[in-house]
Amino acid sequence: MFMPVATQASLKGLTPKQLEDTSCRLCLNNTYHLGLKPGQKTLDAIGGAHRLQSWPHNILTDSGGFQMVSLLKLSRVTEDGVRFLSPHDGSPMLLTPEHSISLQNSIGSDIIMQLDDVIATTSPDHERIKEAMYRSVRWLDRCIAAHEKPESQNLFCIIQGGLDLELRKECCAEMVARDTHGIAIGGLSGGEAKDAFCKVVGTCTQLLPERKPRYVMGVGYPEDILVCVALGADMFDCVWPTRTARFGNAVTVDGVFNLRHANYAYDFRPVEEGCKCTCCRPQEEGGLGITRAYIHHVAAKETAGAHLLSMHNVHYLLELMRKAREAIVEERYPAFLKEYFLKLYAGDKEKYPQWAVDALKGVGIDLLSV
Amino acid sequence: MGSTDAVAAVQVANLPSEMFSIIKTSGTIGPRLGCLRLAGRQVLETPHFLAITSRGVVPHITQDSFAGATGISGVPPDGSSPLRRFIALPEPTLLVLGARRTPPVFAPSANPNTNTSVSICTSVGFRPMKAADYAEGVERLQPDIVVGLGDIPYGRALGAKRIEKATDRNIEWLQSHVKARNDAKAPKGSRSKLFASLPPVSCANQQYYIDTLTQDVAKDVDGLAVYDMVSLEDLPEQLRHLPKLAFTEPSTPHEILRQISLGIDVLTIPFLTAATDAGIALDFTFPANSSEQEAQPKILGVDMWLEDHATSLQPLVDGCKCYACTNHHRAYVQHLLNAKEMLAWVLLQIHNHHTLDLFFAGIRQTLRNGSFEDNVERFAKVYETLLPEKTGQGPRVRGYQYKSEGPGEPKKNAAPFQTFDDKKEKLAESTPPSAEAGAAELEELGFAEKQT
Ligand SMILES: [Zn+2]
Ligand SMILES: [Zn+2]
């Protein structure tokens, strides 16, 4: 399953109705942003994020820690929580696991995430990675204790441990023992090598209980997602499809195209041929029948251009996941993967990324075989 | 319109009354209830308004929202927009194509109109556009209504010489356009209607052009495009039956009413998108809601930026049936504005167009039952004269607002915030904590606690 990211309770100009039309039933809001705007008091007064954005479906929120650590220059993680200087007056502040959960309780998201000690997998400081892993486990205990609405909101733990597979295994054991509703694999997609990334995902999924959802955080490139699915992961989120739409990029089965390119000025085909999204579907079938030439014409000049491409891109990823689920149910996922890569690389197997070939070989799928 | 050549000759004489018929009018110069019928389009009762587009879209609104959530009946795209299909305009919607933006762009004196071309503002600066090319292009693009190219000076005082020059050019351009249309021999029924542009001076001041309209091309012109109300003051009898499309930039609903009472049939209303960009939800009805007897004049719009809305679960405007008001509330719009999320302007644009739609429906209703004048008077008493002042920030400047003034112009949008480490897409996507969020405020938000 893929979850589009509606950072501040809206997905890049799409109305919730339009988001629903892309078949999205679970989207992600960022705790950090909602905590700043509109803030906890307002959320309490309104009755949570579902009411704020009139979204009748599911919402997942992150803990806010990731943004905190990444966006604020002078943040420092201590046992209490994340210390940082107020961006306005420089006074010291502290975000604790308890704060994060309390805020997510106010948001009322269906899935909430523990506050974890986020550290880049590329960090050379092994001791620090180890410390972060153990601290994340301790913080999970504090999050579970602070969680006021376990009956209505599902808490997910976040497996840490960098690229060290032993640390990851230990973290899995500790966290699985704490029996949260679902399990996330965190700290990835931060620029590590793809094969190392796959090893971490594969190692964790083998140790996780069958019947709980597994969420690989921040992964949104179609290839990465499909390989992770083969490795046993269930949920993904990424801002990429909507972010890339802003730059005029269309995500399609044949790869990513920048419609701002002059080539498309007179290309009157739909953004993606055969696509059933509102943007691409012909007018005879109740769609808009938007052409590449039109997107070229409005891209970066009118906000509606980005909205149209966002609709298509989000629909593309949700549809890709639907097809993947269908293939799994029909027990033909390996064939589905082969077909996908063949199309994406226009039949040129030489171009297949080695990491994907290797990772899939590890689970018994030979991408290169016919 | 008829579809065979056999009856076309007969129809020419009746053409205006067929395409446009006046249902009710109260005098020679006065408000009128009319009906605009164009092949394949929804019948447009007038007075009405056209939504203004930029690059073929109503700013902020994607085409599916446009069809599903607004009652917009007609749009004049900007000069750069081609085919209906290209811009994915719903079939029933009237499409009007003109060369000039609404509101227009002031052209620097270095880029004057000439005897054969007008200066237009493009995405690569001012460029001349030949009158002949325009006439050819618009005929190919087949909108429902073509606004004939006019030499319509803007933003400068008009001397007698300049008016004379404009008059000569307008005669020449209109006659050439009409000739090209007649030479093309396209079946009349399938052809765009031609509206002639009236320069923004009285008719007496452009007598030769008016003579052309009433004599030479009388049967070839289907309507008038009006740029200043002054042209209507002495409009000759022979032109009064024509539908009048106004590009007059009314700045308030009161001004709309005044223009309608002077005989305008269809208007374009730039204050609509301006209100949206300012975060204002328009709030007025016609006739003014009669149950209320208020001491203070009522406001014409609600400023959604105001802090008071932060926890308000009320619709933008009570009782409004638009998509935004029936699905969302003030708290959300206020949050979206604060967070600079594009959806804020999407929802406001939907609501504001809906408000105008009802406003015009009310105008037509009172014209039908004869209470228009009384209600205009009442409207002036009940409502404030001006729209509320803008307090918040608008969206980033986009195509529809963008006016290139040549090299060296200041940047339109401040550079977005640079993250400390923008390697990750996710971070680039995030907004940093707002500069106005102080520690105390963060603590109050429950976001974190202040350390001592
Ligand atoms: Zn599509
Ligand atoms: Zn409304």
Distance CA B187, CA B139 (A): 12
pLDDT surpasses 60 at A2: yes
Residue type, A244: T
Which residues of chain A neighbour B420 with C-beta distances below 8 Å?
Answer: 70-71, 73
Distance CA B378, CA B380 (A): 5
In this prediction, residue B409 carries a pLDDT of 41
Closest CA to A249 of A305, A202, A198, A318: A305
Q: What is the DSSP letter of A80?
A: S
In this prediction, residue B354 carries a pLDDT of 93
Q: Kind of pairing, strands B44-46 and B32-36?
A: antiparallel
Residue partners of B53: CB distance under 8 A and separation at least 6: B59, B75, B76, B77, B78, B81, B87, B400
* Chain B contact for A265 (CB, 8 A cutoff): no
In this prediction, residue B80 carries a pLDDT of 32
pLDDT surpasses 90 at A24: no
- B325 known member of a binding site: yes
Q: Which residue of A has its CA nearest to B87?
A: A294
Q: What three-state secondary structure class fits A315?
A: helix
Provide Rg for chain A, Cα atoms.
21
Closest CA to B12 of B245, B217, B225: B217
Q: What three-state secondary structure class fits A355?
A: helix
In this prediction, residue B441 carries a pLDDT of 52
Residue type, B338: N
Q: pLDDT tens string for chain B (452 positions)?
A: 333 333 323 333 333 447 888 888 876 678 888 888 877 777 888 888 877 766 556 676 666 665 554 545 555 444 333 446 666 666 667 778 777 666 666 666 666 777 777 777 666 667 777 878 878 877 777 788 888 888 887 777 778 888 888 899 889 989 988 888 888 766 655 578 899 999 889 999 999 999 999 988 888 899 999 989 999 889 998 898 899 999 888 999 999 999 999 999 999 888 988 999 899 999 999 999 766 566 788 889 999 999 888 888 999 999 999 999 999 999 999 999 988 888 899 899 999 999 999 999 999 999 999 999 999 999 999 999 998 887 776 665 544 444 444 444 444 444 333 333 333 333 334 333 443 444 555 555 555 666 65
CA B439 to chain centroid: 45
In this prediction, residue B403 carries a pLDDT of 45
Q: Is B418 exposed, middle or buried (0-12, 13-18, 19+ CB in 10 A)?
A: exposed
DSSP for B10-55?
Answer: HHHHHHHHHHEEEEEE-SSSS-EEEEE--TTS--EEESEEE---BT
State both tokens at A83: 């210390």
Q: How close B2 comes to chain A (CA, Å)?
A: 26
Mean pLDDT of chain A: 87
Mean pLDDT of A123-150: 91
Structural domains in chain B?
19-401 (3.20.20.105)
Distance CA A62, CA A101 (A): 10
Q: Taking CB atoms and an 8 Å limit, are A8 and B335 in contact across chains? A: yes
Distance CA B83, CA B88 (A): 8
In this prediction, residue B62 carries a pLDDT of 64
Q: Kind of pairing, strands A76-77 and A154-159?
A: unpaired
DSSP for B374-400?
Answer: HHHHHHHHHB-SSPPPP-S--PPP-TT
Residue type, A87: P
In this prediction, residue B79 carries a pLDDT of 37
Q: Taking CB atoms and an 8 Å limit, are B343 and A14 in contact across chains? A: yes
Top residue of A302, A309, A311, A313 to mutate, by most chain B CBs within 10 Å, is A302
Q: What three-state secondary structure class fits B226?
A: strand
Q: Which residue of B has its CA nearest to A298?
A: B55
Task: Find tokens 């929580």 and name the residue.
Answer: A81
Phi, psi of B93 (to 5 degrees): -80, 135
Which residues of chain A neighbour B70 with C-beta distances below 8 Å?
Answer: none
Residue partners of A164: CB distance under 8 A and separation at least 6: A126, A129, A130
Top residue of B442, B443, B450 to mutate, by most chain A CBs within 10 Å, is B442
Distance CA B8, CA B1 (A): 9
Calculate ∠ Cα B341-B347-B353, nearest 5°.
140
Among B311, B313, B436, select the one facing A88 at the smallest CB separation: B436
Distance CA A107, CA B23 (A): 56
Ligand nearest to the CA of B315: 2
ipTM of the complex as predicted: 0.85
Distance CA B398, CA B55 (A): 11
Phi, psi of B73 (to 5 degrees): -100, -20
Q: What is the DSSP letter of A192?
A: -
Q: What is the DSSP letter of B231?
A: H
Q: How close B394 comes to chain A (CA, Å)?
A: 13
CA B206 to chain centroid: 26
Distance CA A287, CA B97 (A): 24
In this prediction, residue A174 carries a pLDDT of 93
Which residues of chain B neighbour A88 with C-beta distances below 8 Å?
Answer: 433, 435-439, 441
Q: Which residues pair with B125 in a beta bridge?
A: B122
> Is A254 considered catalytic here?
no
pLDDT band at A214 (very low <50, low <70, confident <90, very high): very high
Calculate ∠ Cα A320-A324-A325, nearest 5°.
120
Closest CA to A158 of A197, A113, A209: A113
Task: Find tokens 């890569």 and name the residue.
Answer: A341
Q: How close A330 comes to chain B (CA, Å)?
A: 34
Distance CA A206, CA A236 (A): 18
DSSP for A155-182?
Answer: EEEEE--TT-HHHHHHHHHHHHHT--SE
State both tokens at A24: 């999205």
Ligand 2 mean position, distance from CA B211 (Å):
46
Q: Kind of pairing, strands B145-147 and B20-25?
A: unpaired
Residue partners of B276: CB distance under 8 A and separation at least 6: B59, B60, B345, B348, B349, B352
Q: Which residue of A has its CA nearest to B442?
A: A36
* Strand ranges of the sheet holding B223-226, from the earlier edge strand across to the other edge: B48-50, B266-268, B244-246, B223-226, B193-198, B145-147, B94-97, B74-75
State both tokens at A273: 């041929």
* Chain B contact for A14 (CB, 8 A cutoff): yes
Q: What is the pTM of this model?
A: 0.83
Q: Taking CB atoms and an 8 Å limit, are A15 and B342 in contact across chains? A: no
Ligand nearest to the CA of B355: 2
Mean pLDDT of A240-246: 85
Q: CA B304, B305, B309, B311: dihedral to nearest 10 degrees?
A: 120
* CB-based contact A118:A66 (threshold 8 Å): yes
Q: For residue B420, give Cα distances in angstroms to A111, A192, B432.
A: 29, 19, 10
Which of A144-148, A245-249, B149-153, B321-325 has the lowest average pLDDT? B149-153
In this prediction, residue A139 carries a pLDDT of 94
Q: Taking CB atoms and an 8 Å limit, are A290 and B439 in contact across chains? A: no
- B203 known member of a binding site: no
* CB-based contact B351:B359 (threshold 8 Å): no
Residue partners of B370: CB distance under 8 A and separation at least 6: none
In this prediction, residue B314 carries a pLDDT of 92
* Chain B contact for A86 (CB, 8 A cutoff): yes
How many helices (H) and strands (E) are present in chain A, helices listed first? Answer: 15, 13
- B351 known member of a binding site: yes
User: Averaging pLDDT over each range in A7-21, A205-219, A297-311, B385-399, which range is the top one?
Assistant: A205-219
Distance CA A168, CA B99 (A): 65
> Is A110 considered catalytic here?
no
Q: Taking CB atoms and an 8 Å limit, are B399 and A35 in contact across chains? A: no
Ligand 2 mean position, distance from CA B323 (Å):
7
In this prediction, residue B434 carries a pLDDT of 42
Alpha carbons within 13 A on the beta-carbon side of A284: 0
State both tokens at B40: 């394949």
Q: Taking CB atoms and an 8 Å limit, are A36 and B446 in contact across chains? A: no
Which of A22-31, A193-202, B92-101, B360-369 has the lowest average pLDDT? B92-101
Distance CA A12, CA B342 (A): 6
Closest CA to A189 of A223, A155, A147, A146: A223
Among A36, A102, A243, select the one facing B425 at the smallest CB separation: A243
